[in-house]
Structures are given as C-alpha cells and as structure tokens.
Structure 1
Amino acid sequence: MVYDAFVGAFVALFVIVDPIGIAPVFAGLTQGTSRAHKRAMAIKGSIVALLILLFFAWAGKPFLAALSISIDALRVSGGILLFVIAFEMVMEKRGERKQETAEEIHEYFEDISVFPVALPLLAGPGSIATVILLMTDYENSLAAQGAILAALGIVILLTLIIFLMAGKVMDWLGPTVNTVLTRVLGVILAALAAQYVLDGLVGVFRPDVV
C-alpha cells in the first residue's frame, strides 16, 4: 500500500505540477534579473508552494468546505490572475513597470516567488485538488499518507533543480532570443490560464464531464 501510494502520488503530482513545462515560463518571468535573484525566486517559490500544498494535504478539504469554496472556483480565479501576468509578458508591460520602479529606487527586482510561481503555477488548483484527493484516499493509513508527502517533497525538489537549470539556459541564449521567447511564453501562459478557466467552468456547469 505504501509503495503504491508513493508511486501513484509521484506520477500524479509530477504530471500536474509539470516542472519541465513551466520551467521556461519561470525563466521568462525572471528575464533580465541577476542569477542570485533567479536562484532566490526559484528557492522561495518552491518552498512557498511546498508549504501551501502541505497545508492543503492536511487541512484542505475541511478548509475549503468551511469557506464554501470549490476547486472549480480556484481554477477560474487562478486562471484570471495568471492571464494578467501573461498579458504583461506579451505586451512588454512587465519591462515597462520594472523600468518605472527602477527610476524611483536604486535597484529593483520583482518578487514573483509567491505569485505567480508558487501560486498558481506550482501550487495551482490541479495540484491542490490532487493532494487533497490522494490524502483522502489513504486517510486510514498514516504510512501511506507519509509516502504521499514524501513524493510531494521529491517533486518540488526536482522542480527547483529544473528551474535553476532553466535560468542558466536563458542566460546563455542572450537578450534578443530571450525577448522573443518571453513573448512566446506569454502566449503559452495565456493559453494555460484560459485552460484553467475553461476547466473550472466545465466543472461548474458540466460536473459529469470532469
């Protein structure tokens, strides 16, 4: 049971979190910042995401029920917020905002670790729902739940490693390629945001489909 719980949780969480797929997005969000800042954002974002998922693993089901919040509501709200970031990436608004802020203070590096890296990219509606369901499935076995949490920790650790590697790749590509990639990744991020919203709406109006 413990082995099955670990393998099932690792596969499910790795697919849902999708560190390989969102690593380029992270690299685009930290474009133009120092390596130290990239490393700090990757570490802080991973830690915050882990803490959020651990919270929902233990208290997610009663917490959401107490507030009358559904996973589908999280999908829609997370998608809308993520779309705002994507729009800024495509239209170069993030760069303009950084430049304006830099004129007011000596040095400016935007903290994107909590939003959108930790939430909703890593600890998004899908991963939150997954940890809640996994822990509920094995609520009668503390050993199996421990295996699920171990799998969660390993997935976040692998995500951190992939994030750090993505930043180095973006540095190697240079500013021109980075600018092009940032806009392309902004479009991809917008599509991801739209998918969040669509999944949430389907869950609300067609619960038999999901």
Structure 2
Amino acid sequence: MELYTSFLLLSLTSFFTLINPLAIMPIFMSMTADLESQMKVHTARKAVVVSFFLLLIFSTTGEWLFHFFNISINSLKIVGGIIFILMGQDMLQARLVRTKVDKADVDTYVNDISITPLAIPMICGPGAITNGIVLMESTTNFMEKILLILVIAFVLILTYIILANSATIYRFIGPTGNNVLMRLMGLIVMVIAIEFMVSGITPIIQQILNK
C-alpha cells in the first residue's frame, strides 16, 4: 500500500505541476475572450479530451518506442530532468513556460484553438509527455499502470474545471495569487527534475563502474 501511495503522490504532483492549468488559464481567457460562455466550456472540454488520448497513447507506447529507437529509460529520465529544470526555472520567475505556447501562434490557430495551441503544446506539452512515458516505464505491475491512467484523467478533469471556470478563479486569486502558485509549482517541478536525473544517472554510473 505504501508503494502505491508514493507512486500516486508522485504521479499526481508531477502531472499537475507540469500541465500547470493555472499558468494556462490566463492564455485561455485571452484566446476565448470574444466567445460565449458555452463555447468557452466546449473549447476547454475538447482540449482536455484530445490531451487525454495523446498522453494515453504516448504513455502506453513508450516502451515500444524505446525498443524501436534503442533508447534507454535512464537516458529519458536525464533528458526529462533537464526539461523539467528549464520549465521550473521559468515558473519560479512567474513566467509562462516557453515550451507550452508562443504568443505568435494564437492568431494562426484561432480557428481551432482547442487542439492547437491549447491541447498541443500547452496541456500536452513535452514535459507532460516525458513524464507519462517515464512513469509508465517505472510501473512494476498492472495496478500501477491503471493508477497512472486514472491520475492522468483526474488531473485533466481538474484542468477542465479550472479552464471552464477561469474567469471566476482569476477574480478570486488575483494576479498576485496566480504568481505565488506558479512559483510554488515551479519549485516542485525542479525537485521532481532532480529526482528524475539522479534515478537516471545512478544506474549508468553503476554500469560504468562494473565494467
């Protein structure tokens, strides 16, 4: 039970901080400012559904991709850790993560913002994809795999709730509260990054020393 609890907490905190719906919220509000409330909710729902299936596909096919490209999970952990550190650094400074969206893309994809840039790459970005692959590869039994899928679904449901109620939430927490939460999540992301890098580097060093 302890093993499942720790895996659940790691999955939950890592996915929520990497997807970071509170950072997406201001962009979502600006892109849907001219839409009616019903259309805003529809846009948020579509973006979350697309993101769920993308994360599910990447997470479940990660092992096959590793074998096909001859990539080790330890290498991905190290690269993922570097990505997370860069993302966490931006979040600590209360800036929007560079890997999530480019302001220039908003006008280009305005006709279908629910898929791009909302679902890709804002919600389902490189950090979330890497996290899904790494965590799925680290599962030791079927129960943990199911648990991970449920966590992805749960975090995306929270994301949908936050986006659908973005105007109310933003009025409540204000820009200062939003910046504080973003900095806090940035710190958590960087801690997770160090954990990933250490767990990836350690087996490689042990392998070198055993030769």
The aligned residue for residue 156 of structure 1 is 156
The aligned residue for residue 21 of structure 2 is 19
Q: Partner of 1:32: helix, strand, or coil?
A: coil
The change in CA–CA distance for 1:63 and 1:121 in structure 2 (over 3 A counts) is same
In structure 1, what is the Cα distance between the partners aligned to 2:99 and 2:24? 17
Give, in angstroms, the shift of residue 63 of structure 1. 3.4
Q: Partner of 2:111: helix, strand, or coil?
A: coil
Give the AA of the match of 1:35.
S
Matched, 1:56 2:58: yes
Runs of 5+ in structure 2 lacking a partner?
Answer: 84-97, 176-200, 202-211
Farther-moved stretch of structure 1 (31-40 vs 63-72):
63-72
Give, in angstroms, the shift of residue 81 of structure 1. 8.8
Give, in angstroms, the shift of residue 162 of structure 1. 0.2
The change in CA–CA distance for 1:149 and 1:116 in structure 2 (over 3 A counts) is same
Give, in angstroms, the shift of residue 62 of structure 1. 2.6
Query: Under a length normalisation based on structure 2, what TM-score does the superposition of the two structures give?
Result: 0.61
In structure 2, what is the Cα distance between the partners aligned to 1:52 and 1:15? 18
Which 4+ stretches in 1 moved above 3 angstroms? 63-72, 79-82, 167-170
In structure 1, what is the Cα distance between the partners aligned to 2:70 and 2:120? 20
Q: Does the CA-based 8 Å contact 1:3-1:147 persist in structure 2?
A: no
In structure 2, what is the Cα distance between the partners aligned to 1:67 and 1:43? 34
The change in CA–CA distance for 1:28 and 1:60 in structure 2 (over 3 A counts) is farther
Q: Does the CA-based 8 Å contact 2:48-2:159 persist in structure 1?
A: yes
Q: Partner of 1:82: helix, strand, or coil?
A: coil
Q: How does 1:129-140 map to 2 (within 5 A)?
A: 129-138=130-139, 140=140
In structure 2, what is the Cα distance between the partners aligned to 1:34 and 1:25? 16
Matched, 1:10 2:27: no
Task: Provide Cα deviations, 1:151-202, integer angstroms capped at 9, x if missing partner.
Answer: 11110000000001114578x9xxxxxxxx9xxxxxxxxxxxxxxxxxxxxx
In structure 2, what is the Cα distance between the partners aligned to 1:34 and 1:111? 15
The change in CA–CA distance for 1:114 and 1:88 in structure 2 (over 3 A counts) is closer
Q: How many residues align?
A: 153
The change in CA–CA distance for 1:20 and 1:169 in structure 2 (over 3 A counts) is closer
Matched, 1:82 2:140: no
The aligned residue for residue 146 of structure 2 is 146
Runs of 5+ in structure 1 lacking a partner?
Answer: 99-108, 173-180, 182-207
Query: Under a length normalisation based on structure 1, what TM-score does the superposition of the two structures give?
Result: 0.61
